[in-house]
């Protein structure tokens, strides 16, 4: 008889575990507390801008091998778009300087010797001194490992780490920064091509995975929140969903792929990260011109990245905690003025705030400090049929789609190896 695997949480960690397990050997049931799948990676219809938008702009890189394999499996890889080569245009809003980082495809970083392809005002030697970040003391912060100042820092290291770690880089874990740099810059341009879900996160990632799972007999139960688990003889014996109590057979397993605060309330004695950082996104219904790059990095402004989508310009501000209390319209106006300047919009467009929305995700990711990183548990638990998934488990990566999917794959592998 196939074993039943209950996956709690339909974020990317839970869904990727489900993809790995939805085979003849397992009966997969995904239980999701809310009315939608996708967790922190979702699309919704927004009445203010009058279109379907994502809760936040999500960037993948071509080196995110687990994420790309996931997309290939569910038949959705073609929905990601990006340039043919690893190119990142940047604009310094204060000085007006603009440049495009162009990495070499291979690992040999010849671009650092080419003033037209590296950060303006830097020398090749500056890049070599940053290599210290590749083999850091894992207990230290980025600020304790490298000098967080100068043109190379503000033109490359700061925007890269701010986006990947979602924390002001000097406070960030050097171990997590090293993992990011090893898998991106140090792996060469082939690993650094930026990729975005142009038509939205739901049509690219979530709807195809739900179709894939349903076609393989998996059940997706929305609005089905796990309230408590009953533990017995070092295993989970039953799941309590409030309106329904599910007893587990000896061979059955549970993958708990919920956020850390939810996991801590369900599993006794679990140590989890308890500090978070916000991400703020501003969406404007304004059709970008054909010359607007799909992704533009902005320096010396509130805006950090401008994404161009069909009919819409969207801005991401990572580690945006300082903006949580700013009145929404004030924030929209500040960011729109920066977007208008960066996109060189005509004066009347700049003065006229288009339909907008501000989405503030307070607990977008755990705070990627060395202290919080140490609190991340592995996938195994003290209970033999319970494993953990989620971007906050100890994946060795910051909280990203790639980390979430790797954690789901790992959880699925552990369940497959469990003795009935
Ligand atoms: C605004 C924003 C921008 C981001 N940008 C990027 C980016 O550019 N690139 C990138 O790689 N990553 C980005 N991320 C991070 C990425 O979204 C996350 O790492 C990833 O989605 C986490 O997936 P997860 O499955 O671990 O967790 P979640 O998505 O949080 O999924 C957990 C699920 O569990 C459900 N749940 C909770 N409690 C229960 C319960 N008791 N019973 C049943 N279900 C429950 C929740 O409702 C949720 O659906 C961003 C995140 C945000 C918020």
Burial tier of 416 (Cβ tally within 10 Å: 0-12, 13-18, 19+): middle
Q: Is residue 361 within 6 Å of ligand 1 at its C-beta?
A: yes
Q: Specify the range with the lowest mean pLDDT, choosing from 100-109, 155-164, 193-202, 215-224.
A: 100-109
Residues 267-317: pLDDT tens digits?
A: 999 999 999 999 999 999 999 999 999 999 999 999 999 999 999 999 999
Q: Is residue 280 within 6 Å of ligand 1 at its C-beta?
A: no
Look at residues 20, 12, 13, 98 and name the one whose alpha carbon lies nearest to residue 415: 20
Give the model's confidence band at 399: pLDDT under 50 very low, under 70 low, under 90 confident, else very high: very high
Share of the chain above pLDDT 70, in %: 100
Q: Is residue 73 within 6 Å of ligand 1 at its C-beta?
A: no
Specify the pLDDT at position 270.
97
Specify the pLDDT at position 382.
96
Q: How far apart are the CA of 257 and the centre of ligand 1, in A? A: 9
Q: Is residue 58 within 6 Å of ligand 1 at its C-beta?
A: yes
Residues 234-255: pLDDT tens digits?
A: 999 999 999 999 999 999 999 9
Give the model's confidence band at 106: pLDDT under 50 very low, under 70 low, under 90 confident, else very high: confident
**Which one of 270, 401, 402, 407 would you pick to mutate in the ligand 1 pocket, going by the greatest count of ligand atoms within 8 A of its CB?**
401
- CA angle, corner 37, sides to 73 and 311, nearest 5? 85
Inter-axis angle of helices 12-21 and 401-417, to 10 degrees? Answer: 40
Specify the pLDDT at position 396.
98
- Pairwise pLDDT comparison (110 vs 75), residue with the higher score: 75
Nearest CA to ligand 1 atom 1: 56
Specify the pLDDT at position 235.
97
Look at residues 197, 202, 178 and name the one whose alpha carbon lies nearest to residue 60: 197
390: Cβ contacts below 8 Å, ≥ 6 apart: 9, 11, 13, 257, 258, 259, 260, 263, 404, 407
Q: Report the alpha-carbon distance of residue 251 to residue 42 in Å, rounded.
A: 33
For residue 108, pLDDT over 90 is answered with no
| Residue 207 main-chain phi, psi, to 5 deg | -60, -45
Share of the chain above pLDDT 90, in %: 92
- E-assigned strands of 23-111? 26-31, 43-46, 51-54, 59-61, 80-81, 87-92, 98-102
In ligand 1, which atom is closest to the CA atom of 56? Answer: 1
For residue 420, pLDDT over 80 is answered with no
In ligand 1, which atom is closest to the CA atom of 12? Answer: 25
2: Cβ contacts below 8 Å, ≥ 6 apart: 24, 25, 26, 27
**Cβ–Cβ under 8 Å, residues 177 and 169:** yes
Token representation of residue 368: 């990627």
Look at residues 317, 362, 361 and name the one whose alpha carbon lies nearest to residue 335: 317
Q: How far apart are the CA of 275 and the centre of ligand 1, in A? A: 15
| Residue 41 main-chain phi, psi, to 5 deg | -125, 85
Q: How far apart are the CA of 324 and the centre of ligand 1, in A? A: 19
Nearest CA to ligand 1 atom 15: 400
**Cβ–Cβ under 8 Å, residues 28 and 219:** yes
Q: How far apart are the CA of 403 and the centre of ligand 1, in A? A: 11
Q: How many CB atoms lie within 10 A of CB 213?
A: 23
Q: In what order do the strands lie in the sheet with 235-240?
A: 228-232, 235-240, 245-247
Token representation of residue 270: 């679990």
Look at residues 410, 417, 384, 382 and name the one whose alpha carbon lies nearest to residue 396: 410
Q: What is the mean pLDDT of residues 310-336?
A: 97
Specify the pLDDT at position 1.
72
Q: Report the alpha-carbon distance of residue 206 to residue 187 in Å, rounded.
A: 29
Q: How far apart are the CA of 119 and the centre of ligand 1, in A? A: 33
Q: Is residue 273 within 6 Å of ligand 1 at its C-beta?
A: no
Q: What is the mean pLDDT of residues 62-90?
A: 95
Q: Report the alpha-carbon distance of residue 82 to residue 333 in Å, rounded.
A: 29
**Which one of 16, 38, 43, 58 would you pick to mutate in the ligand 1 pocket, going by the greatest count of ligand atoms within 8 A of its CB?**
58
Give the model's confidence band at 109: pLDDT under 50 very low, under 70 low, under 90 confident, else very high: confident
Q: How far apart are the CA of 132 and the centre of ligand 1, in A? A: 31
Q: Report the alpha-carbon distance of residue 100 to residue 110 in Å, rounded.
A: 15
For residue 24, pLDDT over 80 is answered with no
Q: Is residue 31 within 6 Å of ligand 1 at its C-beta?
A: yes
| pTM for this model (two decimals) | 0.97
1: Cβ contacts below 8 Å, ≥ 6 apart: 251
Q: How far apart are the CA of 42 and the centre of ligand 1, in A? A: 9
Look at residues 172, 122, 415, 382 and name the one whose alpha carbon lies nearest to residue 270: 382
**Which one of 36, 41, 224, 294 would you pick to mutate in the ligand 1 pocket, going by the greatest count of ligand atoms within 8 A of its CB?**
41
Q: Is residue 416 within 6 Å of ligand 1 at its C-beta?
A: no
**Cβ–Cβ under 8 Å, residues 17 and 412:** yes
Specify the pLDDT at position 129.
79
Specify the pLDDT at position 419.
75
Q: Report the alpha-carbon distance of residue 362 to residue 412 in Å, rounded.
A: 29
**Which one of 20, 33, 37, 40 would you pick to mutate in the ligand 1 pocket, going by the greatest count of ligand atoms within 8 A of its CB?**
40
């Amino acid at each position: 008889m196939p074993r039943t695997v209950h996956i709690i949480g339909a974020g990317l960690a839970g869904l990727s575990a489900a993809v790995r397990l939805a085979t003849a050997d397992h009966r997969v049931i995904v239980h999701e507390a809310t009315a939608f799948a996708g967790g922190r990676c979702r699309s919704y219809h927004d009445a203010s801008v009058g279109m379907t938008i994502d809760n936040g702009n999500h960037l993948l890189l071509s080196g995110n091998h687990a994420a790309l394999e996931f997309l290939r499996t569910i038949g959705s890889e073609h929905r990601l778009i990006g340039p043919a080569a690893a190119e990142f245009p940047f604009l310094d809003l204060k000085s007006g300087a603009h440049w495009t980082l162009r990495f070499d495809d291979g690992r040999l970083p010849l671009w650092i010797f080419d003033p037209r392809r590296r950060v303006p005002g830097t020398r090749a030697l500056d890049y070599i001194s940053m290599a210290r970040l590749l083999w850091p003391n894992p207990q230290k912060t980025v600020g304790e490992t490298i000098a967080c100042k100068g043109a190379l820092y503000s033109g490359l290291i700061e925007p890269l780490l701010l986006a990947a770690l979602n924390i002001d880089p000097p406070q960030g874990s050097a171990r997590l920064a090293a993992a990011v740099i090893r898998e991106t810059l140090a792996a060469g341009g082939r690993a650094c091509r930026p990729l975005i879900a142009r038509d939205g996160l739901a049509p690219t990632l979530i709807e195809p995975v739900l179709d894939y799972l349903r076609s393989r007999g998996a059940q997706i139960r929305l609005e089905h929140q796990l309230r408590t688990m009953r533990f017995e003889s070092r295993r989970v014996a039953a799941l309590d969903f409030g309106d329904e109590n599910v007893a587990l057979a000896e061979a059955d397993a549970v993958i708990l792929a919920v956020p850390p605060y939810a996991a801590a309330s369900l599993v006794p004695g679990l140590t989890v990260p308890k500090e978070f950082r916000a991400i703020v996104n501003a969406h404007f219904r304004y059709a970008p011109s054909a010359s607007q790059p799909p992704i533009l990095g902005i320096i010396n402004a509130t805006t950090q990245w401008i994404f161009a989508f069909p009919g819409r310009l969207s801005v991401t501000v990572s580690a945006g905690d300082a903006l949580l209390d700013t009145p929404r319209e004030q924030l929209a106006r500040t960011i729109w003025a920066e977007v208008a300047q960066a996109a060189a919009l005509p004066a009347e467009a700049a003065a006229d705030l288009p339909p907008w929305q501000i989405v503030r995700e307070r607990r977008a990711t755990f705070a990627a400090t060395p202290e919080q990183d140490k609190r991340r548990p592995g996938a195994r638990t003290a209970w033999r049929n319970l494993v953990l998934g989620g971007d906050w488990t100890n994946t060795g990566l910051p909280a990203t789609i790639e980390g979430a999917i790797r954690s789901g794959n790992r959880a699925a592998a552990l369940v497959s190896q469990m003795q009935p």
